Structure 1
Amino acid sequence: MNLAVVGATGLIGRPVTEQLIAAGYVVTILARDTEKARAMFPGVRVVAADLRNPDSLRAGLANQQAVYLNLSIKPDEKPDDFHTETDGLKTLLAEARQAGIQRIGYLSSLVMRYQGMNGFRWWAFEVKQEAVRLLKESGIPASIFYASTFMETLSMQVQGSWLPLAGHSEVAMWFIAGRDYGRQVARAFSLPGHENREYVIQGPEPLTYAAAAKVFAKHYPRQKLKIVTAPLGVLKLLGRFNRSIDYGAHILEALNGYPEQFEAAQDWIELGQPTLTLADYARQAP
């Protein structure tokens, strides 16, 4: 199968793309930063493409059978900005229909279900909900992956010898490694069917965020990490003056509050069971 990937150079897009290549798909990477993409994936076809530019997408989607989308809202975006998961997605879907794309895979999230719980409302979750609606109504069969928290987020939070956290939660999350998720995506594209499919993506062990941080710090090989925790209220206050901090505060509030339950048993049967524990991941984390 010829498979185009949008978002291959991102935190989760990279391990997914690596697993798609390993599974034998003929991957074409659609990227704005072509030099970065070629450096990450030597020998893989890279096409310059931008979700704002239909012509570039048309060239990138030519002769492809499927597309995988790893899109995200940037921490400094505003509600009325261009959003790849809605504005860009509309452009891509129009070009995908013209190109005869047979299936689209899309990374969504479990935590967006927190919208409306405990009075929580956030425009970014509205964008993610709209993306799901657009995909379901596109006329192209879509595989939508509702993922729990990725282990890679802990790597991203490391600041020198510090691992900063904010807020407190006693709710466990089923942390998943990007590599295991990538294998599941590769499997999903191989399954027959011409209908929309939705999968819950969860890892092998439930941990609160604080417990996960302790496991990560214990097994992180590069240096000794000190975990520091700030009150979420402080982050919210600072977020009034900084969009990126405000974004982080909303994400953490949702993660701390969402009552995640294990739902992936059937999806493990279809897509394969994740095997990488958080300790395993931490030992090889960048």
Structure 2
Amino acid sequence: MNVFVTGASGVIGQRVIPQLVAAGHAVTAVARSAEQAVALRQARARPLSLDLFDRPALRAALAGQEAVINLATHIPASVWRMLVLPGAWRENDRLRKIASAGLVDAALAAGVGCFLQESFAPVYPDCGDTWIDERVPIRPARYNRTVADAEAAARRFTESGGTGIVLRFASFYGPDAFQTLAMIEAVRAGWAPLPGAPEAFYSSISHDDAARAVVAALGAPAGIYNVADDEPLRRRDCADSLAAALGVGMPKFPPLWTVRLFGSLGALMARSQRISNRKLRAASEWVPIYPSVREGWRATLDALGDPTQQRY
């Protein structure tokens, strides 16, 4: 199948490209630099320089494509930027609201059969200990309301006769994520790395498992799918399992009032979310390598090297 990929240089895209090629797909991917183009060629994909906001160029680029995987995001490059820098999410909002709609329009015009859109599972509300499936209405925070716009674009693709797929990814972790490195540093310093109550649930997914889900979902029916570990952990278990993997003491949780210091992002990340992946597992052959972050921490630290010696 001819597959067009945006966001190929991201932590998920870098893993998706070689898996698509290995599965026998002919992959064209957007390259934003000469270095990225070289990396894509080495992965046996065809690089394409493209402005995702240029609608005529999008229509030309999608001619002959059978599936589009839209992984394009622009996440602020540090936790500090996420929390305090004015306009830090502006480009990400443009991608989700404007570029996603433009890609759907171009895909429909080109006769593309499948459109896969990344999304963000933590936009679900706080549901305590109750399992969350795809029927639960989302409740985005102020900073990420455009998640709904991106999902609406994929839904419009389905309503127009195509197969629109939305993957709601749980919180990512992996050796090449600055958020994961920040969590490691927090636990080393004796503090729990996640906002919210210790008994609240935290749903996560490794970069590797997320990429495998993208490839598997190409064969799924239209709809929304959660991509999360089999076993979401309570925040206390998540923090303690990271501490155990690092060989340090169990971390302390800051007072709950500190969540308010971090605005809508902090409030969203403090939600208790026990997210179910059953729908995707039933609709595809995807099974996560790591049933929970408990197993994933060990693999992440192994990829980073000796966790007792390395600093981040």
Q: TM exceeds 0.5?
A: yes
For 2:265, give the aligned amino acid: I
Distance, in Å, in 1 between the alignment partners of 2:298 and 2:213 is 18
Matched with 2:36 is: 36
Matched with 2:12 is: 12
Q: Secondary structure at the match of 1:39?
A: helix
Unaligned regions of 5+ residues in structure 2, if any? 77-84, 129-138, 188-192, 305-312
Q: Secondary structure at the match of 2:68?
A: strand
1:144 equivalenced with 2:170 (yes/no): no
Unaligned regions of 5+ residues in structure 1, if any? 238-245
Matched with 2:241 is: 215
Compute the displacement of 1:54 (Å).
2.1
Query: Would you say the 8 A contact 1:217–1:226 is kept in 2?
Result: yes
- Root-mean-square deviation (CA, aligned residues, Å) is 3.4
Distance, in Å, in 2 between the alignment partners of 1:97 and 1:25 is 20
1:162 equivalenced with 2:185 (yes/no): yes
**What TM-score does the superposition give when structure 1 sets the normalisation length?**
0.78
1:105 equivalenced with 2:116 (yes/no): yes
Compute the displacement of 1:155 (Å).
4.2
Query: Would you say the 8 A contact 1:103–1:143 is kept in 2?
Result: yes
**1:10-67 C-alpha deviation (Å, 9 max, x unpaired):** 1222223332233222111113234225336613211001212224323432221101
Query: Would you say the 8 A contact 1:48–1:60 is kept in 2?
Result: no
1:256 equivalenced with 2:270 (yes/no): yes
Distance, in Å, in 2 between the alignment partners of 1:106 and 1:146 is 9
Aligned residues: 268
Matched with 2:300 is: 282
Matched with 1:206 is: 232
Query: Would you say the 8 A contact 1:202–1:264 is kept in 2?
Result: yes
Query: Would you say the 8 A contact 1:161–1:226 is kept in 2?
Result: no
Distance, in Å, in 2 between the alignment partners of 1:252 and 1:72 is 20
Distance change (3 Å), C-alpha of 1:113 and 1:202: same
Distance change (3 Å), C-alpha of 1:198 and 1:269: same
Distance change (3 Å), C-alpha of 1:160 and 1:216: closer
Compute the displacement of 1:154 (Å).
8.9
**What TM-score does the superposition give when structure 2 sets the normalisation length?**
0.72
For 1:190, give the aligned amino acid: G
**1:79-122 C-alpha deviation (Å, 9 max, x unpaired):** 876610011112212211222111011111221122999xx863
For 2:270, give the aligned amino acid: N
For 2:55, give the aligned amino acid: P
Query: Would you say the 8 A contact 1:66–1:101 is kept in 2?
Result: yes
For 1:134, give the aligned amino acid: A
For 1:89, give the aligned amino acid: S
Query: Would you say the 8 A contact 2:40–2:47 is kept in 1?
Result: no
Query: Would you say the 8 A contact 2:232–2:274 is kept in 1?
Result: no
Distance, in Å, in 1 between the alignment partners of 2:64 and 2:267 is 43
Identity across aligned pairs (percent)? 22
Distance, in Å, in 2 between the alignment partners of 1:255 and 1:159 is 15
State which drifts further: 41-50 or 223-232: 223-232
